């Protein structure tokens, strides 16, 4: 991916572009991600200066912890961003990407907190925490 990647919420009240490189997708199974997404949250990440918001009419932020806030569309409810304080990257919902992503699932994190109704299965590595190494790709 060398060109801007177009992204949006369900209703179009939030649109943005990502300038590669993008991190491979990480699926987070922590309780907070499960509550904000309704299941687990799958996200890529990009350097902050490579996120270009083109329409923020519906963009709202929620301080979900002392260490991060989450961006979502206040009109359709789409979960869009995980914004950790003091980091130079922002996580972006892989589902917000319009069209083909060209990305792959790299790992599952906080797997010990996953819902009891599913098993991630497959050959993707599972971790009980997020070490930071997952984001280096």
Going from the C-alpha of 6 to that of each of 15, 51, 100, 113, the distances in angstroms are 8, 10, 10, 32
* Nearest-angstrom CA–CA distance, 107 and 131: 11
Mean pLDDT of 115-133: 86
Rounded CA-CA distance 68/63 in Å is 6
Domain ranges for the chain, please list them: 5-136
pLDDT (tens digit, 9 = 90+) per residue, 47-81? 999 999 999 999 999 999 999 999 999 999 999 99
For the 5-136 domain, the top CATH level (class) is mainly beta
Q: What is the pLDDT of residue 5?
A: 96
Strands (DSSP E) found in 63-104 = 68-73, 79-84, 89-93
The pTM of this model reads 0.89
d(CA 16, CA 3): 13
């Amino acid at each position: 991916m060398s060109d801007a990647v177009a992204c949006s919420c369900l209703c179009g009240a939030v649109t943005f572009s990502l300038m590669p490189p993008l991190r491979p997708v990480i699926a987070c199974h922590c309780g907070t991600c499960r509550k904000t997404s309704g299941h687990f949250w799958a996200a890529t990440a990009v350097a902050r200066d490579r996120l270009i918001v083109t329409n923020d009419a519906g963009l709202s932020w929620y301080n979900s912890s002392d260490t991060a806030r989450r961006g979502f569309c206040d009109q359709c409810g789409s979960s869009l961003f995980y914004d950790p304080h003091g980091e130079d990257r922002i996580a972006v919902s892989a589902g917000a990407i319009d069209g083909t992503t060209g990305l792959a699932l790299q790992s599952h994190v906080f797997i010990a907190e996953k819902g009891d109704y599913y098993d991630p299965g497959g050959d993707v590595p599972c971790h009980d925490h997020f070490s930071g190494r997952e984001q280096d790709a």
